[in-house]
């Protein structure tokens, strides 16, 4: 278990991490989601005592990282896959780490086997592809057979096979009862991997929720209706016990019905429709809306058009902040 309490990091006047408090629990994959620059890596670095917090604390199984007798046996991490010594073989990179941490040499071959690098164990790691480098980084995280594992953007730049492999591994490790904490800036990736979700923006906690709850709240289905007889249509809808919310340009959005039922209702009352379409708000949209105010660098053209407006009736709802849940 990892517990953060009021964790804060300032770089000069920049507040990178702002009073973060949450708990990462065992037996599940916890996704750590936030746009670029949200403070994910800085938070993870403080969890591993690689950066000093300005204030607040991190506890790993109730203790500060520095109080752990053999840290690699408690918590393993993949922060930067390029951190390996390129001139050494994969085997020797891991062996050095094992020796420095009193881990038996046989574990090196074991973890190379787990990550599928046994065949290239004697090859220098500087010749490794991005995917092989990620696998080697994961092997080093697994070396001490720790109960807690942290991965910072592990699927970045990987091909679909590599992404699938990492997802499957993380889920299997969680099923063994381990605490798995993984960062990403992609909601779609988290939806496939994480059981629990921590969302941050500009260093602040925006959501702490189960993935199932997030999906339930944000996968809103509704029907969009546009009619030149908008007022009559509103009356007909209300007569049928349906509530319509008004979106942009006179568009009406109706929850709890179908295109078929609404098309027939309009025809019955001889109302003209210019649009009748089924809609589903995507999780990615929900995430973008949640973090819209905290994105550091906005693109102006295509991205701005893709991002939904931050407020308005069309806005999908997100799970409320639910600390300590
Ligand atoms: N050593 C540093 N000195 C000054 N500012 C820093 C330093 N490290 C991080 N920052 C700033 O702190 C903020 C948080 O950065 P961080 O790398 O933790 O975000 P992130 O969520 O991991 O982003 P990304 O997804 O882009 O990796 C950013 O604005 C970044 O520019």
Residues across the chain: 325
By alpha-carbon position, which residue is closest to atom 17 of ligand 1? Answer: 41
Render pLDDT for 201-218 as a digit per residue (tens, 0 to 9).
Answer: 999 999 999 988 887 777
In the chain, what percentage of residues exceed pLDDT 90? 59
Render pLDDT for 86-113 as a digit per residue (tens, 0 to 9).
Answer: 678 889 989 999 998 889 999 999 999 9
pTM of the entire structure?
0.77
Spatial strand order of the sheet with 179-184 comes to: 75-78, 148-152, 179-184, 28-33, 196-201, 204-210
Does 190 contact ligand 1 (Cβ within 6 A)? Answer: no
Q: Is the pLDDT of residue 317 over 80?
A: no
Stretch 267-289: mean pLDDT: 87
167 CA from centroid of ligand 1 (Å): 25
Give the number of C-alpha atoms closer than 13 A to the C-alpha of residue 137, restricted to the C-beta side.
Answer: 24
Q: Which helix H or strand E contains 279, and what residues bound it? A: strand 275-280
By alpha-carbon position, which residue is closest to atom 18 of ligand 1? Answer: 39
Least Cα distance to 149 among 49, 78, 65, 71 occurs for: 78
| Structure-model confidence comparison of residues 302 and 240, the more confident one | 240
Q: What is the pLDDT of residue 318?
A: 38
By alpha-carbon position, which residue is closest to atom 31 of ligand 1? Answer: 37
Query: Which atom in ligand 1 lies closest to the alpha carbon of residue 38?
Result: 21
Q: Is the pLDDT of residue 189 over 70?
A: yes
Q: Is the pLDDT of residue 140 over 70?
A: yes
The neighbouring-strand residues paired with 253 are 224, 245
Q: Is the pLDDT of residue 325 over 50?
A: no
By alpha-carbon position, which residue is closest to atom 30 of ligand 1? Answer: 37
| Structure-model confidence comparison of residues 132 and 83, the more confident one | 132
Residue to substitute in 13, 33, 39, 43 for testing ligand 1 pocket (most ligand atoms within 8 angstroms of CB): 39
Render pLDDT for 295-308 as a digit per residue (tens, 0 to 9).
Answer: 655 554 444 334 44
When pLDDT is cut at 50, 70 and 90, the band that residue 81 belongs to is: low
Render pLDDT for 261-276 as a digit per residue (tens, 0 to 9).
Answer: 999 999 999 999 999 9
Q: What is the pLDDT of residue 227?
A: 96
Does 40 contact ligand 1 (Cβ within 6 A)? Answer: yes
Q: Is the pLDDT of residue 312 over 50?
A: no
When pLDDT is cut at 50, 70 and 90, the band that residue 67 belongs to is: very high
Per the prediction, the chain carries an average pLDDT of: 86
Q: Are 42 and 51 in contact (CB under 8 A)?
A: yes
Q: What is the pLDDT of residue 212?
A: 85
Task: Give the whole-angstrom CA distance, residue 252 versus residue 227.
Answer: 9
Does 42 contact ligand 1 (Cβ within 6 A)? Answer: yes
ipTM associated with this complex: 0.95
Which residues touch 306 (CB under 8 Å, ≥6 apart)?
none
């Amino acid at each position: 278990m990892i517990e953060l309490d009021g964790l804060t990091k300032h770089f000069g006047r920049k507040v990178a991490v702002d009073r973060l408090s949450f708990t990462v629990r065992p037996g599940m994959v916890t996704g750590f989601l936030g746009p670029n620059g949200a403070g994910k890596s800085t938070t993870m670095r403080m969890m591993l005592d690689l950066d000093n917090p300005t204030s607040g604390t991190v506890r790993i199984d109730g203790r500060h990282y520095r109080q752990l007798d053999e840290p690699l046996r408690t918590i393993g991490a993949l922060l930067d896959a390029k951190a390996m010594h390129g001139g050494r073989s994969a085997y020797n990179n891991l062996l050095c780490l094992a020796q420095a941490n009193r881990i038996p040499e046989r574990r090196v071959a074991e973890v190379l086997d787990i990550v599928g690098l046994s065949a290239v164990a004697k090859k220098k790691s500087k010749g490794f592809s991005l995917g092989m480098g990620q696998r080697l980084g994961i092997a080093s995280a697994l070396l001490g057979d720790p109960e807690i594992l942290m991965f910072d953007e592990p699927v970045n730049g990987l091909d679909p096979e590599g992404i699938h492999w990492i997802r499957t591994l993380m889920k299997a490790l969680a099923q063994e009862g381990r605490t798995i904490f993984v960062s990403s800036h992609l909601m779609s990736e988290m939806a496939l991997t994480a059981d629990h979700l921590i969302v941050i923006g500009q260093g602040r906690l925006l959501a702490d929720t189960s993935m199932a709850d997030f999906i339930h709240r944000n996968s809103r289905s509704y029907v969009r209706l546009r009619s030149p007889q908008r007022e009559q249509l509103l009356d007909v809808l209300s007569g049928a016990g349906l509530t319509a919310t008004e979106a942009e340009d006179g568009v009406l959005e109706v929850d709890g019905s179908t295109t078929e039922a609404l098309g027939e209702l309009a025809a019955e009352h001889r109302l003209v429709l210019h649009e009748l379409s089924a809609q589903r708000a995507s999780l990615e949209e929900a995430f973008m809306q949640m973090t819209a105010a905290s994105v550091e660098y906005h693109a102006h053209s295509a991205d701005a058009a893709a991002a939904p407006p931050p407020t308005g009736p069309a806005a999908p709802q997100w799970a409320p902040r639910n600390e300590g849940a």
